[in-house]
Amino acid sequence: MINNKSDLIIFSSIFFLFYLSCEKDDICLSETHGTPKLIIRMVNKESPLLYKGLEGLLIKAIGNKNPINIESADSITLPLNPFKNYTQFEFIKNQGNENENIDTVQINYSVNNIYINRACSYKGSFIFNSNALTIINNKNKWIEGYIILKDTIKNEEQAHLALLH
Q: State pLDDT tens for residues 112-123.
A: 988 887 778 888
Contacts of 136 (CB under 8 A, 6+ apart): 88, 104, 105, 106
Whether 72 has a pLDDT exceeding 80, the answer reads: no
What pTM, to 2 d.p., does this model score? 0.76
**What are the CA-CA distances from residue 54 to residues 23, 81, 92 (Å)?**
51, 25, 10
Structural domains present in the chain: 25-164 (2.60.40)
Band of pLDDT at residue 26, cut at 50, 70 and 90: low
Whether 23 has a pLDDT exceeding 60, the answer reads: no
Mean pLDDT of 33-62: 84
Q: State pLDDT tens for residues 53-62.
A: 777 788 888 8
Residue 92, burial from CB neighbour count under 10 angstroms (0-12, 13-18, 19+): buried
Mean pLDDT of 48-67: 80
Q: State pLDDT tens for residues 79-100.
A: 999 989 999 998 888 877 888 8
